[in-house]
Chain A
């Protein structure tokens, strides 16, 4: 069963956008106003350098309909300094988020099984300070949320989670895409595969 037949195009679901841009100031604003204009929330956003000099990658996670994400991605491609924009669903990417949990020191003192919990969850203890320790967990939001729930009884002091970073299952190189784009006389839409 194809995704299209599984979900009507108007049902909201999660999409991950990967946007390659020139390294120019103001782009973050240009990207976000496309969402704001349509009153669409951004769940997470990450900006990163890429392996190509002068090229940045924005990874944006949002929840909306298929129709709307198609509209949004076309608007993003229209931005002058955007090199390419791609929409992915969960099965098309590998992705991770990083979460940090600050737990009070006394939680361990009382003979709790925090250390066991940490290792079982595939997390690690990042630092131990006098009054607290910081646990780091990499995973998807369900996994980091699971650990959050488990640590909460220990008097969690602070929790923070990064935006998603995602990598597609394609074997193409970013550089090859950009070369193709430079050589092409057609628009950014015509190079679909990435």
Chain B
């Protein structure tokens, strides 16, 4: 028995209404609590857009300027709300334009429901106009995908889509709906999906694993917590705090884990990874018990795996069993979400403090401050540095803003120097490193958290990858504050060329357009700062502008981000200059 027959059988006994497939799509979304859709119309999804005309009071559709803008915006919304973001695109190029965002969401565990139109079912496989095999293309980068060829399958597919996207380790789902299925009438009824027998999203931590982990923690002299995004995804921020405060264990965060802990927390020792802080990196190779919570040991965090935390017993708390023992072999693995694991560990761990051990981190902080941070934050002359701009914004916003970053030097600097105070506030493209992510993702973040200040930090390179979304920002009046840190270079690649390719600046210098004129052309207020003495006033004016506003700061052309763990080096070999 195939799926649609199953659906039909089930619906026979329930009260139904006869509607079109296209209306059913929208009613399913409303039933799932969706309020906003980001999208772009086209031939194969026209019936759904036609139906949407009647649902404008219930569903806020934001018309982006490119499908990539739509998917990144949906990601941004998902990241600040913790619920699946939704986007629409048509078949062919519409669908392929979503792929970068879907791949980004897959690697960063962001829940998405992407709905694409498809050519009518009788034309499938004929190379019809705007036909592409979006099922085949999206399969490697989705948590699940499904092609609907009959209207009857729509409720089943969408119910499953939301359940799969939102539960367990979240991820993107794509539903491809042929045009004839959108047009067809059928007897509609909707039931949310609550169980799939072959999908068990919430494994329960085993008591034996919890006990083994607690024993290691209780005996540890130099325990060390690494905080990944899983803490925020499972809503375990408070449990983590209680756990760390009871055990007195220092904590560091991965890029995706940032903002899961208040930066100013006394047990928070900093940021991990290639451009992370000095202490958190070198102490990884000195701790005796490493407690990794909801993170996946990305190579940008571990450096050379053969020389990563070899001295330590490793406890890995992870919801996805395929991440356990993938990169770092564990001593004890706890296969559950971070919240369940921490709740299970809390009564088993002893009250403790690790003052001397934490002091070692603080000694490292002093070294990093003297050799790197002081000069970055308090230069007495010369070009403006990225770090001083971020530091000022962090002070002025009191760490309360949502900071959406693109990819490159500005991303590392923003996440090094912004002092986050609220969870779900660091929105960045971590795993995939997608330039062009920030501007559209910020639109989604603003829609998801309209009361909060949303700051987009972006380079002059990445800005030009999706700057057409200024049109969306204007049309939908999304009050995001855009900061361009302009060094007229693809700065991170240039830094690598300087350090590892004998300063051969192969195609990294940008002859940029007038960003002021472009932004003003879109009807958005813009200003530019080139001198340090004007910076504070400009930041003040920018943040106090009504509606969206752009601030372009011309920064040091050949500034480098340090510390740095060179590619392939051990975390202990972190360079300060």
Q: Report how far A190 CA is from B143 CA in the complex, Å.
A: 21
A175 CB-CB contact with B under 8 Å: no
Q: Is the CB of A184 within 8 A of B200?
A: yes
Given A30-B139, A70-B325, A75-B322; 15 other pairs, CB 8 A cutoff: A29-B139, A37-B140, A74-B321, A81-B198, A83-B198, A181-B197, A181-B200, A182-B197, A185-B200, A185-B202, A185-B203, A186-B203, A187-B203, A189-B321, A190-B203
Which residues of B sit under 8 angstroms from A83, Cβ to Cβ? 197-198
Q: Is the CB of B197 within 8 A of A29?
A: no
A-facing residues in B128-150 (Cβ within 8 Å): 135-136, 139-140, 143-145
- Among A22, A75, A188, which residue has its beta carbon within 8 angstroms of that of B200? A188
Most buried by A among B196, B198, B325, B326: B198
Q: Report how far A22 CA is from B2 CA in the complex, Å.
A: 11
Q: Report how far A82 CA is from B144 CA in the complex, Å.
A: 12
Known interface pairs A74-B321, A189-B321; A80-B196 also in contact (CB < 8 Å): yes
Which residues of A sit under 8 angstroms from B203, Cβ to Cβ? 185-187, 189-190
Some 10 contacts from A to B, beta carbons below 8 A apart, are: A71-B326, A74-B322, A75-B322, A77-B321, A77-B322, A182-B197, A184-B200, A185-B204, A187-B200, A187-B321
Number of interface residues of B (CB under 8 A): 24
- Look across to chain A and name the residue whose beta carbon is closest to the beta carbon of B324: A74
A124 CB-CB contact with B under 8 Å: no
Interface of A is mostly: helix
Q: Report how far A71 CA is from B506 CA in the complex, Å.
A: 38
Q: Report how far A185 CA is from B202 CA in the complex, Å.
A: 7
Q: Is the CB of B140 within 8 A of A33?
A: yes
Q: Report how far A32 CA is from B136 CA in the complex, Å.
A: 12
B32 CB-CB contact with A under 8 Å: no
Q: Is the CB of A26 within 8 A of B139?
A: yes
CB distance from B458 to the nearest CB of A (A): 31
- Look across to chain A and name the residue whose beta carbon is closest to the beta carbon of B203: A187
Which residues of B sit under 8 angstroms from A29, Cβ to Cβ? 136, 139
Which residues of B sit under 8 angstroms from A71, Cβ to Cβ? 322, 326
A-facing residues in B181-234 (Cβ within 8 Å): 196-200, 202-204
A54 CB-CB contact with B under 8 Å: yes
A161 CB-CB contact with B under 8 Å: no
Contact with B along A90-113 (1 / 0, CB 8 A): 000000000000000000000000
CB distance from A185 to the nearest CB of B (A): 6
- Look across to chain A and name the residue whose beta carbon is closest to the beta carbon of B200: A187
Known interface pairs A33-B139, A189-B335; A181-B322 also in contact (CB < 8 Å): no
